[in-house]
Structure 1
Amino acid sequence: MVVVAFGLCSFIVMAGPADMSTAILIRVDQSGNGDFRKIQDAIDSIPSNNSELFFIWVKPGVYREKIVVPADKPWITISGTKANDTIITWSDGGEIFETPTFTVLATDFVGRFLTIQNSFGPSQKAVALRVSGDRAAFYGCRILSYQDTLLDDAGRHYFSNCYIEGGTDFIFGNGASLYEKCRLHSLSEGTGAITAQNRVSEAQDTGYTFLGCRITGIGTLLLGRAWGAYSRVVFVMCSMSNAVLPQGWDDWGDPTKHSTVFYAQYKCYGPGADVSGRVKWSRNLSDSEAAPFLTKDMIGGRGWLRPAPTNFKRRSGVISLTADAN
């Protein structure tokens, strides 16, 4: 076991699996044809401090559950087949750490092809997904709520080809995260905000980068609001619709943050990408300034992002090559 410090947080990292291509398969099926009917029951069946890959394959259905992947259960993948037909939903509003439909506290978690939804609505904070574990990745997921949809809280995270929607500060927290080829959609009929990044010190290596993403909205929207004094958000090669307001960014009512936040874009395009009307304390990056934000190296991704397993085994040790679960 190794304790890794990251920003102001530390994470317990258990020894990794020797074989990253093979996972223990657990099937969740509401019809009763799997190992469990509920996703949480499948998670609970995994031993604490496991050092093997576990692949929880969720059959299509609407799963009305509040899910927690605890800190002592790393190396878990939870996967549907298509996000549109594998839906995890709950309805809870109030405090941000109490409301999430899906909470990830463990390291080395992967979510694939899931819809994660908090259906509470716009009247209170209602988190769909909270990610507080280091080295978490999400592929092809739909993350849906209104206010504070995605609590990208702490650790290094990667989101690929995900659809994320909300109205107010719908991606927020102090993670160090790369969003690649994602769709970000504002539901606000007034003025919404995509991000509220909470970096509080220049020493913290945190922030959000959006690479090759598409930004749309019903009303108007801001790229970000400065929750933390050193808030850091960068949009790179993103398509921005005319929903994006010319000023782009907001200081959360505190002009002292103008000299400490890092808000920038690089080679974005579309009617909302024009930098001529941006607030003076935001940046338009040069090629050399943008270079660190163009690869997964910014989150150390080469060291921890892993492909889906290709071989599966049951706990009895019998090998089951299940291509459909990949």
Structure 2
Amino acid sequence: MEMATLGSCGFILWLVFASSAVTFLATSAAGSSSLNSPSAILIQVDQSGKGDYKKIQDAIDAVPSNNVDQVYILIKPGIYREKIVVPADKPYITLGGTDATSTVITWSMGGSNLVETPTVAVLASNFVARYLTFQNTYGAGAQAVALQVAGDKAAFYGCRILSYQDTLLDDVGRHYYSNCYIEGAIDFICGNGLSLYDKCHLHSLSDVQGAITAQQRSSPTEDTGYSFINCKITGVGTSVLGRPWGAYSRVVFAYSYMSKVVLPQGWDDWNDPSKQKTAFYGEYRNYGPGSSVTERVRWSHQLTSIEAAPFLTKSWINGREWLKPLPTRFRKPSWK
């Protein structure tokens, strides 16, 4: 069962079972063909000292380089003041909490070098996060990334991603965000990923003229862009849906609720009219007071059903080939 459809209470009960069952599972045949459900190595992080590690980074560091096993790092509730990196040579890691509001990874760092600021930087492929908060508390005045995703095939379920400027650096690779809450004011979803946002809540903190997205596609040959499906946009002031970080920036919103925070023009060319000819900004069957297209910039696109179709399913990110179900069998690591 996908985490996105599993209630938090049910997930907590499941985790209790997983924790108590791990000793038994360690003695079973982890790769037995008689069991159809996926398995994973289980590591527990608990600040009280009752887990395998007290710090999340220590648990990640313990995973061998060039790892080929699914590793589930279960993070007990708490506020983890850490600056974390999941390195490129450690794929197949899941970071999982029980409730995003009570399991928080936080740091405070801003600056002019975007990639130096993330609270959490995911550089590895086949990464998953479930029910966690990623937070950068730096505030206004500089780039301050809460989460950088620069690995291919990364998925996020029920997470909260919080900062002010450049909150989510959706950088490189194919990514899936399901039922996530993303908050910021200026270009708070940015980068050059190929990403699907499914049932996410986007909340703008900008008082005036904020920007939700700054997608960075720089060439028509690049297979990148952001698709937002069944999402919700709220905020405290006004914002555009996006502006082009790259000349061929590509963003589509479909079946999404737009509050009055969305400015009537919808999109901005970032003071470069030449990008009006190359950026691709599309909308399809959105609703709410901010969804009216009567005053949209003329260079945006109101899509037909045929034009919208490629953006509306997991096929947009080839997700059916790599999105995996939640593990249901666990074992202790042999390398601990």
TM score, norm. by length of structure 1: 0.91
1:38 match = 55
Aligned partner of 2:322 in structure 1 is 304
Tell me how far apart the structure 2 counterparts of residues 316 and 98 of structure 1 sit (CA, whole Å): 34
Q: Is the 8 A contact 2:191 2:214 kept in 1?
A: yes
Give the aligned residue type for 2:332. Answer: R
Match status 1:92 vs 2:116:
no
For residues 177 and 125 of structure 1, the distance between their equivalents in structure 2, rounded to whole angstroms, comes to 21
Q: Which runs of 4+ in 1 moved over 3 A?
A: 17-20
**Pair 1:281 & 2:293 matched:** no
The count of residues paired between Structure 1 and Structure 2 equals: 301
Shift of 1:316: 4.8
Q: Does 1:24 align with 2:37?
A: no
Match of 1:84, SS? coil
The aligned counterpart of 1:229 is 247
**2:308 counterpart SS class:** helix
Answer yes or no: is 1:74 the counterpart of 2:84. Answer: no
Instruction: Identify the match of residue 197 of structure 1 among 215, 220, 237.
Output: 215
Q: CA RMSD in A?
A: 1.3
- Return the alpha-carbon distance in structure 1 between the equivalents of residues 181 and 216 of structure 2: 22
Q: Find the residue that maps to 2:307 and give its secondary structure.
A: helix
1:199 to partner: Cα distance: 0.2
* Aligned partner (choices 77, 80, 84) of residue 63 of structure 1: 80
Tell me the CA shift for residue 20 of structure 1: 7.0
Q: How does 1:1-326 map to 2 (within 5 A)?
A: 21-94=38-111, 95-316=113-334
Partner-residue secondary structure (3-state), 2:73? strand
Structure-1 separation of matches of 2:328 and 2:312: 29
CA displacement, residues 141-179 of structure 1 (integer Å, 9 cap, x when unaligned): 000000000000000000000000000000000000000
Q: What is the CA distance between 1:315 and its match in structure 2?
A: 1.9
Higher relative contact order (CA 8 A, sep 6+): 2
In structure 2, runs of 5+ residues without a counterpart are 1-30
Matched residue of 1:55: which SS?
strand
| Kept after mapping to 2: 8 A contact 1:106/1:133 | yes
- Structure 2 letter corresponding to 1:160: S
- Partners of 2:122 and 2:157 lie apart in 1 by 15
- Higher fraction of helix: 2
Query: Aligned equivalents of 1:223 and 1:185: distance in 2?
Result: 11
Asked whether the 8 Å contact 2:95–2:128 carries over to 1, the reply is: yes
Quick one: percent identity of the two aligned structures? 64
Tell me, in whole angstroms, the C-alpha distance in 1 between the residues paired with 2:90 and 2:69: 10
Contact 1:128 1:149 in 2 (8 A): yes
Unpaired runs of 5+ residues, structure 1, are 1-16, 318-326
Question: d(CA) in 2 for partners of 1:131 and 1:92?
Answer: 17
- Contact 1:20–1:53 at 8 Å: present in 2 too? no
Whether the 8 Å contact between 1:22 and 1:311 is mirrored in structure 2 is: yes
The 2-side partners of 1:201 and 1:20 are apart by 41
